[in-house]
Structure 1
Amino acid sequence: MASKLPLTVQGGAAAWGTIRGSFHSLMALLIAALMLAIIYLARDAEPPPSEEEARVAAEEVGRVNSVGRAGRKGECDLFSGRWVYDNVSYPLYKEKECKFMSDQLACEKYGRKDLSYQHWRWQPHDCDLPRYFHILLSILEFLGHTSPPR
Protein backbone atom coordinates (compact mmCIF):
# COMPACT_ATOMS: atom_id res chain seq x y z
CA MET A 1 0.00 0.00 0.00
CA ALA A 2 1.07 3.42 -0.64
CA SER A 3 1.77 5.49 2.36
CA LYS A 4 -0.24 8.66 2.70
CA LEU A 5 1.89 11.72 2.85
CA PRO A 6 0.41 14.88 4.27
CA LEU A 7 -0.33 17.49 1.66
CA THR A 8 1.32 20.77 2.37
CA VAL A 9 1.01 23.97 0.49
CA GLN A 10 4.06 26.09 0.65
CA GLY A 11 3.32 29.25 2.62
CA GLY A 12 -0.38 28.35 3.01
CA ALA A 13 -1.33 30.16 6.21
CA ALA A 14 1.17 32.90 5.64
CA ALA A 15 -0.21 33.61 2.14
CA TRP A 16 -3.77 33.97 3.44
CA GLY A 17 -2.56 36.28 6.17
CA THR A 18 -0.91 38.49 3.57
CA ILE A 19 -4.05 38.60 1.42
CA ARG A 20 -6.20 39.35 4.46
CA GLY A 21 -3.82 42.14 5.45
CA SER A 22 -3.90 43.59 1.93
CA PHE A 23 -7.71 43.52 1.94
CA HIS A 24 -7.85 45.40 5.24
CA SER A 25 -5.35 47.94 3.95
CA LEU A 26 -7.40 48.43 0.79
CA MET A 27 -10.61 48.89 2.80
CA ALA A 28 -8.92 51.42 5.10
CA LEU A 29 -7.67 53.33 2.06
CA LEU A 30 -11.15 53.36 0.47
CA ILE A 31 -12.79 54.54 3.70
CA ALA A 32 -10.19 57.30 4.08
CA ALA A 33 -10.78 58.43 0.47
CA LEU A 34 -14.55 58.44 1.05
CA MET A 35 -14.17 60.50 4.22
CA LEU A 36 -11.95 63.03 2.42
CA ALA A 37 -14.47 63.30 -0.42
CA ILE A 38 -17.32 63.92 2.03
CA ILE A 39 -15.33 66.58 3.89
CA TYR A 40 -14.37 68.26 0.61
CA LEU A 41 -17.95 68.33 -0.69
CA ALA A 42 -19.41 69.43 2.64
CA ARG A 43 -16.91 72.28 2.85
CA ASP A 44 -18.22 73.83 -0.38
CA ALA A 45 -21.89 73.21 0.37
CA GLU A 46 -23.78 76.34 1.25
CA PRO A 47 -26.19 75.90 4.17
CA PRO A 48 -29.85 76.67 3.52
CA PRO A 49 -30.99 80.13 4.61
CA SER A 50 -32.15 80.45 8.18
CA GLU A 51 -35.71 81.48 8.98
CA GLU A 52 -34.45 84.95 9.90
CA GLU A 53 -32.67 85.36 6.56
CA ALA A 54 -35.78 84.16 4.71
CA ARG A 55 -37.98 86.57 6.67
CA VAL A 56 -35.69 89.50 5.86
CA ALA A 57 -35.65 88.50 2.18
CA ALA A 58 -39.45 88.22 2.14
CA GLU A 59 -39.77 91.66 3.72
CA GLU A 60 -37.42 93.06 1.08
CA VAL A 61 -39.48 91.52 -1.72
CA GLY A 62 -42.66 92.83 -0.11
CA ARG A 63 -41.12 96.28 0.23
CA VAL A 64 -40.11 96.33 -3.43
CA ASN A 65 -43.58 95.17 -4.48
CA SER A 66 -45.60 97.54 -2.29
CA VAL A 67 -43.40 100.59 -2.81
CA GLY A 68 -43.08 99.86 -6.52
CA ARG A 69 -46.86 99.79 -6.90
CA ALA A 70 -47.11 103.09 -5.08
CA GLY A 71 -44.98 104.56 -7.85
CA ARG A 72 -42.22 106.21 -5.82
CA LYS A 73 -39.31 107.36 -7.87
CA GLY A 74 -36.27 105.07 -7.70
CA GLU A 75 -38.22 101.92 -6.83
CA CYS A 76 -38.95 99.01 -9.11
CA ASP A 77 -42.52 98.06 -10.02
CA LEU A 78 -42.23 94.38 -10.88
CA PHE A 79 -45.78 94.25 -12.21
CA SER A 80 -45.36 96.91 -14.86
CA GLY A 81 -43.13 95.86 -17.72
CA ARG A 82 -42.90 93.97 -20.94
CA TRP A 83 -41.48 90.78 -22.42
CA VAL A 84 -38.15 91.30 -24.19
CA TYR A 85 -36.25 88.96 -26.49
CA ASP A 86 -32.86 88.02 -24.98
CA ASN A 87 -30.73 85.92 -27.30
CA VAL A 88 -27.56 86.32 -25.21
CA SER A 89 -28.35 85.01 -21.72
CA TYR A 90 -31.41 82.88 -22.46
CA PRO A 91 -32.32 80.04 -22.42
CA LEU A 92 -30.93 79.44 -18.95
CA TYR A 93 -30.52 75.69 -19.58
CA LYS A 94 -30.53 73.22 -22.47
CA GLU A 95 -33.70 71.17 -22.31
CA LYS A 96 -32.11 68.02 -23.72
CA GLU A 97 -29.31 68.11 -21.11
CA CYS A 98 -31.58 68.68 -18.11
CA LYS A 99 -32.25 65.35 -16.40
CA PHE A 100 -34.82 66.95 -14.11
CA MET A 101 -37.05 68.13 -16.98
CA SER A 102 -40.61 66.87 -16.63
CA ASP A 103 -42.09 65.21 -19.70
CA GLN A 104 -45.05 67.59 -19.43
CA LEU A 105 -42.71 70.52 -20.10
CA ALA A 106 -40.26 68.88 -22.51
CA CYS A 107 -41.38 70.48 -25.77
CA GLU A 108 -38.08 69.91 -27.54
CA LYS A 109 -38.00 66.26 -26.50
CA TYR A 110 -41.31 65.65 -28.25
CA GLY A 111 -40.37 67.44 -31.46
CA ARG A 112 -41.29 71.10 -31.10
CA LYS A 113 -39.40 72.95 -33.81
CA ASP A 114 -40.00 76.58 -32.74
CA LEU A 115 -37.93 77.03 -29.59
CA SER A 116 -37.67 80.82 -29.73
CA TYR A 117 -40.08 81.09 -26.78
CA GLN A 118 -37.12 80.15 -24.54
CA HIS A 119 -35.37 83.45 -25.28
CA TRP A 120 -38.01 85.75 -23.77
CA ARG A 121 -37.69 87.27 -20.29
CA TRP A 122 -39.68 89.78 -18.23
CA GLN A 123 -38.25 93.30 -18.05
CA PRO A 124 -39.94 95.73 -15.60
CA HIS A 125 -40.20 99.37 -16.69
CA ASP A 126 -37.59 101.79 -15.28
CA CYS A 127 -35.42 99.16 -13.58
CA ASP A 128 -33.27 96.12 -14.23
CA LEU A 129 -34.33 92.83 -12.71
CA PRO A 130 -31.19 91.20 -11.29
CA ARG A 131 -30.67 87.54 -12.12
CA TYR A 132 -30.40 86.48 -8.44
CA PHE A 133 -33.91 87.81 -7.80
CA HIS A 134 -35.36 84.66 -9.41
CA ILE A 135 -33.30 82.51 -7.06
CA LEU A 136 -34.59 84.50 -4.08
CA LEU A 137 -38.19 83.97 -5.17
CA SER A 138 -37.53 80.23 -5.59
CA ILE A 139 -36.11 80.03 -2.05
CA LEU A 140 -39.09 81.87 -0.62
CA GLU A 141 -41.49 79.60 -2.48
CA PHE A 142 -39.63 76.52 -1.20
CA LEU A 143 -39.69 77.79 2.38
CA GLY A 144 -43.39 78.54 2.05
CA HIS A 145 -44.10 74.95 1.03
CA THR A 146 -41.96 73.44 3.78
CA SER A 147 -43.19 75.51 6.71
CA PRO A 148 -45.57 73.74 9.10
CA PRO A 149 -49.26 74.63 8.76
CA ARG A 150 -50.59 77.09 11.31
Structure 2
Amino acid sequence: MKISKKEEGQGLVEYALVLVLVAVAIILILTLLGSTVVVTYARVMGGLSGQSLTMSGDEYIILEADIQASGSGDTCNITGGSAKVVVLNDGALQTEGSANLPYSVNGTSGSVSVTIDGSGISEINFPSVSTGCPIVLTNPHGYRQVINP
Protein backbone atom coordinates (compact mmCIF):
# COMPACT_ATOMS: atom_id res chain seq x y z
CA MET A 1 0.00 0.00 0.00
CA LYS A 2 1.35 3.36 -0.95
CA ILE A 3 1.04 6.32 1.45
CA SER A 4 0.60 9.68 -0.19
CA LYS A 5 2.76 12.60 0.89
CA LYS A 6 -0.30 14.36 2.37
CA GLU A 7 -0.78 11.56 4.94
CA GLU A 8 2.81 11.38 6.20
CA GLY A 9 2.95 12.37 9.88
CA GLN A 10 -0.81 12.48 10.22
CA GLY A 11 -0.76 9.66 12.80
CA LEU A 12 1.56 11.70 15.02
CA VAL A 13 -0.75 14.73 14.86
CA GLU A 14 -3.75 12.57 15.77
CA TYR A 15 -1.81 11.05 18.67
CA ALA A 16 -0.91 14.54 19.94
CA LEU A 17 -4.56 15.63 19.72
CA VAL A 18 -5.67 12.60 21.72
CA LEU A 19 -3.08 13.41 24.42
CA VAL A 20 -4.29 17.02 24.59
CA LEU A 21 -7.91 15.87 24.91
CA VAL A 22 -6.99 13.46 27.72
CA ALA A 23 -5.09 16.23 29.55
CA VAL A 24 -8.03 18.64 29.20
CA ALA A 25 -10.43 15.96 30.49
CA ILE A 26 -8.21 15.31 33.54
CA ILE A 27 -7.95 19.03 34.31
CA LEU A 28 -11.73 19.40 34.00
CA ILE A 29 -12.40 16.44 36.31
CA LEU A 30 -9.94 17.71 38.94
CA THR A 31 -11.44 21.20 38.75
CA LEU A 32 -14.94 19.84 39.32
CA LEU A 33 -14.01 17.28 41.98
CA GLY A 34 -10.95 18.95 43.54
CA SER A 35 -12.59 20.03 46.80
CA THR A 36 -14.21 16.61 47.21
CA VAL A 37 -10.82 14.94 46.86
CA VAL A 38 -9.25 17.28 49.45
CA VAL A 39 -12.10 16.73 51.95
CA THR A 40 -11.93 12.95 51.50
CA TYR A 41 -8.13 13.00 51.94
CA ALA A 42 -8.48 15.17 55.05
CA ARG A 43 -11.14 12.91 56.57
CA VAL A 44 -9.01 9.81 56.00
CA MET A 45 -5.85 11.45 57.40
CA GLY A 46 -7.81 12.86 60.34
CA GLY A 47 -9.29 9.45 61.09
CA LEU A 48 -5.90 7.78 60.96
CA SER A 49 -4.50 10.28 63.47
CA GLY A 50 -7.46 9.93 65.85
CA GLN A 51 -9.27 13.15 64.96
CA SER A 52 -13.04 12.82 65.12
CA LEU A 53 -15.20 14.98 62.88
CA THR A 54 -18.87 15.85 63.26
CA MET A 55 -19.15 17.71 59.92
CA SER A 56 -20.91 20.59 61.69
CA GLY A 57 -19.49 23.99 62.55
CA ASP A 58 -15.84 24.91 62.09
CA GLU A 59 -13.47 21.95 62.21
CA TYR A 60 -9.71 21.84 61.76
CA ILE A 61 -7.91 18.74 60.55
CA ILE A 62 -4.17 18.69 61.15
CA LEU A 63 -2.65 16.68 58.32
CA GLU A 64 0.97 16.95 59.35
CA ALA A 65 2.87 18.83 62.06
CA ASP A 66 6.58 19.57 62.32
CA ILE A 67 7.25 21.01 65.77
CA GLN A 68 10.69 22.15 66.88
CA ALA A 69 11.23 21.76 70.61
CA SER A 70 14.12 22.01 73.04
CA GLY A 71 14.74 21.59 76.73
CA SER A 72 15.13 18.87 79.30
CA GLY A 73 14.15 18.05 82.84
CA ASP A 74 11.11 20.03 83.94
CA THR A 75 11.12 22.73 81.24
CA CYS A 76 10.56 22.24 77.54
CA ASN A 77 10.11 24.88 74.87
CA ILE A 78 8.33 24.83 71.55
CA THR A 79 10.69 27.00 69.55
CA GLY A 80 8.62 27.03 66.38
CA GLY A 81 7.22 24.69 63.82
CA SER A 82 4.49 24.43 61.29
CA ALA A 83 1.51 22.28 60.42
CA LYS A 84 -0.64 21.63 57.37
CA VAL A 85 -4.30 22.16 58.19
CA VAL A 86 -7.61 21.73 56.37
CA VAL A 87 -10.48 23.93 57.58
CA LEU A 88 -14.03 22.64 57.16
CA ASN A 89 -17.27 24.48 57.84
CA ASP A 90 -20.29 22.19 58.15
CA GLY A 91 -18.30 19.56 56.23
CA ALA A 92 -17.52 21.89 53.31
CA LEU A 93 -13.94 22.77 52.41
CA GLN A 94 -13.00 26.38 53.13
CA THR A 95 -10.82 27.91 50.41
CA GLU A 96 -10.73 31.56 51.46
CA GLY A 97 -10.73 33.77 54.53
CA SER A 98 -9.12 33.10 57.87
CA ALA A 99 -9.83 31.16 61.04
CA ASN A 100 -8.39 30.56 64.50
CA LEU A 101 -7.18 27.04 65.20
CA PRO A 102 -7.59 26.23 68.90
CA TYR A 103 -4.89 24.10 70.52
CA SER A 104 -3.75 23.02 73.95
CA VAL A 105 -0.20 22.46 75.17
CA ASN A 106 -0.08 20.54 78.45
CA GLY A 107 -3.50 21.90 79.37
CA THR A 108 -2.78 25.54 78.48
CA SER A 109 -5.08 26.70 75.70
CA GLY A 110 -4.28 29.03 72.84
CA SER A 111 -5.10 29.60 69.22
CA VAL A 112 -3.19 30.10 66.01
CA SER A 113 -4.45 32.25 63.14
CA VAL A 114 -4.91 30.36 59.88
CA THR A 115 -4.99 32.19 56.54
CA ILE A 116 -6.95 29.76 54.39
CA ASP A 117 -5.21 28.82 51.15
CA GLY A 118 -7.14 28.63 47.89
CA SER A 119 -6.32 24.92 47.58
CA GLY A 120 -7.93 24.20 50.96
CA ILE A 121 -4.69 22.97 52.54
CA SER A 122 -3.20 25.78 54.65
CA GLU A 123 0.04 26.04 56.59
CA ILE A 124 0.25 27.52 60.08
CA ASN A 125 3.21 28.48 62.23
CA PHE A 126 3.20 27.62 65.92
CA PRO A 127 4.13 30.27 68.48
CA SER A 128 6.92 29.77 71.02
CA VAL A 129 5.66 28.12 74.21
CA SER A 130 7.49 27.21 77.42
CA THR A 131 5.98 24.36 79.44
CA GLY A 132 6.76 21.16 81.29
CA CYS A 133 8.23 18.06 79.68
CA PRO A 134 7.06 16.12 77.74
CA ILE A 135 5.01 18.47 75.57
CA VAL A 136 1.56 17.15 74.68
CA LEU A 137 -0.03 19.11 71.82
CA THR A 138 -3.75 18.53 71.23
CA ASN A 139 -6.68 20.10 69.41
CA PRO A 140 -10.43 19.82 70.15
CA HIS A 141 -10.94 17.16 67.46
CA GLY A 142 -8.66 14.56 69.01
CA TYR A 143 -5.30 15.37 67.42
CA ARG A 144 -2.52 14.50 69.86
CA GLN A 145 1.24 14.72 69.48
CA VAL A 146 3.71 14.02 72.28
CA ILE A 147 7.01 15.86 71.90
CA ASN A 148 9.92 14.87 74.10
CA PRO A 149 13.04 16.82 73.08
Q: Normalising by structure 2, what TM-score?
A: 0.28
Larger Rg: 1
Q: Normalising by structure 1, what TM-score?
A: 0.27
The structure with the largest strand share of the pair is 2
The structure with the largest helix share of the pair is 1
